[in-house]
Chains A and B, each alone.
Chain A
Amino acid sequence: MDDDRGRRADLMPAAVDSGLRAGGAGAASARSDMARRRFLIGVATVGMAAAVRPQLLLADTLVIPNAEGFLLVDMKKCQGCGTCMMMCSLAHTGEASYSLSRIQIQQDSFASWPNDIHMAQCHQCPDAPCVQVCPVTPVKANKPNPKFGNVRMIDQDLCIGCQMCIGACPFIPSRIQWNPGIGRSQKCDLCVDTPHLGAKGGPGGVQACVQSCPVGAIAFTRDMPKTNTEASYTKDLRGPVWKKLGMTTE
């Protein structure tokens, strides 16, 4: 797999892109109207943030401690059942949903293996562009949490809903989700804040997606992948049993 397959070629200004990639050329007109509207909202939000802290827009890159936990996936193994998405959403919010899931499993029923499924999990990026771009002051809403292995977490009480983190994520689809119900962004916290999980989450604990995956296509690791690419965050999790079931381990 191409290392940069899921990485955006163009890092558009967050306020313009807002993490949205509507499909199809014919949607361009509507998309352009909506993008413009969001641009104005974004400008207004950033403007407010800059007024509070004028140096924000010129700030240097923050030095962020590495996270101490990561999710690895096996896109050749996933059975596309969506269980991880529903369990993720349930564990965090008590509601089952695709759109509120911190991990996204994308399928094209008419494509062939292995290009029929894409597993999109948060990388807990070392440089964490989503953290870098968070305009909230004096304490960022999106930041590493030292109590939980520096997992990058969005504090819903602090989030102002500017969506800049959604646009800053370098991957497609963005690994930050927009929750329109509360007007806030959200992201994978390795299940640190999961009131409905019934178990301790976070690094060293349980992750709803890992726990629930019926075929074991998602794994937790404390070892940071070598590069921040989809290829590095992908691991062959199949093993000899998979082979015995008549499916490839290559």
Chain B
Amino acid sequence: MALYGYAGKILRLDLTNRKAMVLDTERYKSWGGGHGLGAALFWEFCKDKTIKDGRHPANVCCVAASAVCGTGVPSATGRTEVVGVGVGYDGINWFTRSGFGGRFSTMLKYAGWDAIVIEGKADKPVWIDIRNESVVIRDASGLWGKDTWATQLDIWKLIGIETGTHTGWVALDDLKDAPKRESGDAGRTTQKPAIVAIGPAGEKSGHGALIHDAGNGAGQGGFGSVWGSKNLKAISVIGTGSVKVANPMALIQARQALKTKYITSYEAPDFRQWSRVGGLAKPLTQAPIPTEDRRPQACQGCVNGCRSRSNLGYGNESACQETFWYNEFAQKVAKSPNEMGELSLKVADLCQKYGINTFVLQPGLPWLEHLHEAGLLGPGKKIPSSLPWEKLGTLEFAEKFVRALATGTDIGRDLADGFVPGARKWGREVDLRTGALQFSYWGCAEHGYDPRAELEWGYGSIMGDRDTNTHCFNFMFTTVSAALAYALPIRVDAKELVEIQARKLVPYAKDRPEVFDFSDRNMYSEAVAQLVRWQQHYCRFWKNSALFCDLKWPDLINTNTPNLEGATGSDDAGEHVFWNAVTGDKLSLADGIRLGRRIWNLDNAIWTLQGRHRDIVQFAPYIYDTKYEKNELFPFYMWPCRDEKGNWAYTDLMGRSIDRKGFEAWKTTFYRLEGWDTKTGWPTERTLAELDLGFVVDALKSAGRLGKERAA
């Protein structure tokens, strides 16, 4: 029977012994793909699950596609998941994840592979050359030290691929160093190989990102540094095959339903629509792009690209946070919005090329500026730094700053293992109490969505492994706050919004709108715990494993439809409709969420072996000890809340902190709902058995870390 949606093979690479082996995907199908598949492979092949730094040679890094990659499923086709023990946090770097878009997973599938397991450490720098079934571990000494773009262009040349677009069909058999073939035909393509590479940051610091094409990055998790520690410079893949789809007509029709029903049209667009998936293609670039001569640019299969390529020769494919983190400083220097845009986009390019995780820079640079202004950091100061701090905001400063961080020089030397370990070296732990250093969970940079206001983000991060970076619900606050800031209409009032969204929250919180009540009186409630569970479980399967894009899914409310209901869970264009069309499965939305719970629990088993205990599940001190206050130009953190009488309204949540006792009570509730030991947070045998995770029980038992059943 055909394994619809899957390529059928997993590539297992042993870098230490320079071996490539093949695993059968069918054995792992129950994990779906992506994170679930990667976690299962990590569990099987990582022999020491107590490691606390992703640069340990025992670490296993998995790069995984899903069944829907390469099939045309909207805003899911082009995502790739990366898992393994991370780098760059504080103390224990948890088993964690990251992901990136673009073309890699699609090309990987067309080459015949569902995932890549990377084990061991090469004795010298290598890159992996995948051409359909051919896998060669090649010498990367000529690539080491190069930036991520130069590396990719060099590999094109090494393979024999031309730059530019008006190129002919290329027969894989005719490429440089093509394997000799007795018979048959390896196929042809007009496409470039899809390459993921690391830059200097991955080679020399703990802030390394994986970069694919010009602007697809897996930054959080520090997987660039994981690859660097393994002497792995890049993986290149070119494929000429195809993916068999169980019901192609159903897939085409569901895609059409999404386009016509849930996405606003180019003919008569609603520019102010509220939805996740339903907008027009528009760059999420958060600095002005100083030209109209550009296009939107999308990951494979996306319905509305969120990046751009222009005629300017800079800023191409960068979007969102990497185009934003330097704005605060650039705007002090730039003489016009266009100049600021140019500056921020050129800085984004720098980060892409150095292959650095830009998330650490966002709260990191303001903290360093604070130390500089306090006279603690600079030339001849207690914390010596020869960076040109007087030029902060310029391109020159940014280049020197990013280079220092990426190469472990200047202040980058002390910050190479993470900003929080760096702060400790400098005797600046106090900054985690005052909030001068906003690394709020696990030594991880706060995303810009403060846990004191945005509960599901904060709770999801601290119950997980790093900044959760899942935008399931936070679009509510960004949409409402933006409407208020720009005097746009409030399209849906708070009560209607939460009620419509709650219709989709199977199986934990269906028709329970109170889960969205983030008011002070509800912030430690069972309802909010259910919301966090829903988000983490939904994401672990539908986003991180099936690989639906975080920026488009779930689509819970949608003003493009007559009844305002979004595509999520719908019978015509829901996530499960696409999944089933591709695989032939009969999953429901809730089935996927249950699978997500299983994957989330496997993650927790790994965290437990790494050393997690309820006692260390704590935010940085400033989250408890200080109130969330920023200079608001407008009501910034608007979230649906109920008042004493139960009336819903969008309410500004600035100005509060998290109460330690309240959070402890919430943790107990969360653990109880998850079926974890409420005293330790460890998985219990009963829950593991219930989730068909019995195979992890022995490992937890022998480590003395199997949870116990507690009376309620």
Question: Is the CB of A106 closer than 8 A to any CB of chain B?
Answer: yes
Complex-state Cα separation, A161 to B70, whole angstroms: 27
Task: Specify the main secondary structure of chain B where it touches its partner.
Answer: loop
Q: Which residues of A contact B159 (CB under 8 A)?
A: 24
Question: Is the CB of B128 closer than 8 A to any CB of chain A?
Answer: no
Chain B: residues with Cβ within 8 Å of the partner, total of: 87
Q: Which residues of A contact B166 (CB under 8 A)?
A: 5-6, 106, 118, 172
Minimal beta-carbon separation of B559 from chain A (angstroms): 18
Which chain A residues in 74-96 approach chain B with CB under 8 Å? 76-83, 86-87, 89-91, 93-96
Q: Which residues of B contact A80 (CB under 8 A)?
A: 295, 297-298, 305
Q: Which residues of A contact B44 (CB under 8 A)?
A: none
Minimal beta-carbon separation of A49 from chain B (angstroms): 21
Which chain A residues in 195-209 approach chain B with CB under 8 Å? 196-198, 208
Q: Which residues of B contact A196 (CB under 8 A)?
A: 248-249, 252
Task: Report the nearest A residue to B251, measured CB to CB.
Answer: A90
Contact, CB under 8 Å: A109 / B242: no
Complex-state Cα separation, A76 to B292, whole angstroms: 11
Contact, CB under 8 Å: B244 / A247: no
Q: Which residues of A contact B110 (CB under 8 A)?
A: 97-99
Contact, CB under 8 Å: B190 / A82: no
Q: Which residues of A contact B293 (CB under 8 A)?
A: 113-114, 248
Task: Report the nearest A residue to B77, measured CB to CB.
Answer: A86
Question: Is the CB of A211 closer than 8 A to any CB of chain B?
Answer: yes
Complex-state Cα separation, A243 to B266, whole angstroms: 11
Complex-state Cα separation, A81 to B301, whole angstroms: 5
Task: Specify the main secondary structure of chain A where it touches its partner.
Answer: loop
What 1/0 mask marks residues of chain B from 602 to 630 whose CB sits below 8 Å from any chain A CB?
A: 00000000000000000000000000000
Complex-state Cα separation, A82 to B109, whole angstroms: 14
Q: Which residues of B contact A246 (CB under 8 A)?
A: 282, 289, 292
Neighbour of A30 across the interface among B174, B282, B302, CB < 8 A: B174
Task: Report the nearest B residue to A84, measured CB to CB.
Answer: B72
Q: Which residues of B contact A90 (CB under 8 A)?
A: 71-72, 245, 248, 251-252
Contact, CB under 8 Å: B281 / A215: yes
Q: Which residues of B contact A81 (CB under 8 A)?
A: 78, 298-303, 305
Which chain A residues in 51-88 approach chain B with CB under 8 Å? 76-83, 86-87
Contact, CB under 8 Å: B242 / A120: no
Contact, CB under 8 Å: A111 / B255: no
Question: Is the CB of B280 closer than 8 A to any CB of chain A?
Answer: yes
Which chain B residues in 239-288 approach chain A with CB under 8 Å? 240-245, 248-249, 251-253, 255-256, 259, 263, 266-267, 269, 271, 280-282
Minimal beta-carbon separation of A20 from chain B (angstroms): 5
Contact, CB under 8 Å: B165 / A87: no
Question: Is the CB of A132 closer than 8 A to any CB of chain B?
Answer: no
Contact, CB under 8 Å: A113 / B281: no
Minimal beta-carbon separation of B437 from chain A (angstroms): 36
Question: Is the CB of A27 closer than 8 A to any CB of chain B?
Answer: yes
Kindly state the interface size class of chain A when it binds its partner.
35 or more
Q: Which residues of B contact A93 (CB under 8 A)?
A: 242
Which chain A residues in 92-147 approach chain B with CB under 8 Å? 93-100, 104, 106-118, 120
Question: Is the CB of B635 closer than 8 A to any CB of chain A?
Answer: no
Contact, CB under 8 Å: A20 / B188: yes
What 1/0 mask marks residues of chain B from 307 to 325 whose CB sits below 8 Å from any chain A CB?
A: 0011111001100000000
Minimal beta-carbon separation of B582 from chain A (angstroms): 9
Contact, CB under 8 Å: A34 / B295: no
Q: Which residues of A contact B245 (CB under 8 A)?
A: 90, 94-96
Question: Is the CB of A244 closer than 8 A to any CB of chain B?
Answer: yes
Contact, CB under 8 Å: A86 / B170: no
Minimal beta-carbon separation of B236 from chain A (angstroms): 13
Neighbour of A19 across the interface among B168, B185, B296, CB < 8 A: B168
Q: Which residues of A contact B259 (CB under 8 A)?
A: 212, 214
Question: Is the CB of B173 closer than 8 A to any CB of chain A?
Answer: yes
Question: Is the CB of A31 closer than 8 A to any CB of chain B?
Answer: yes
Minimal beta-carbon separation of B175 from chain A (angstroms): 6
Q: Which residues of B contact A76 (CB under 8 A)?
A: 295
Neighbour of A104 across the interface among B74, B78, B190, B242, CB < 8 A: B190
Neighbour of B169 across the interface among A19, A27, A86, A214, CB < 8 A: A19
Question: Is the CB of B162 closer than 8 A to any CB of chain A?
Answer: yes
What are 8 pairs between A and B in contact, CB < 8 Å? A79-B302, A96-B245, A98-B240, A109-B192, A113-B295, A214-B303, A239-B266, A246-B292
Q: In the A-B complex, list the 9 residue pairs whose CB atoms are closest, starting with the nearest.
A: A21-B168, A97-B242, A86-B72, A23-B162, A24-B160, A118-B165, A109-B213, A27-B160, A22-B174
Assuming A95-B243, A111-B309, A115-B165, what are 11 further A-B pairs, CB within 8 angstroms?
Answer: A26-B160, A27-B175, A81-B301, A95-B245, A97-B110, A106-B165, A106-B166, A110-B213, A173-B167, A173-B168, A212-B256
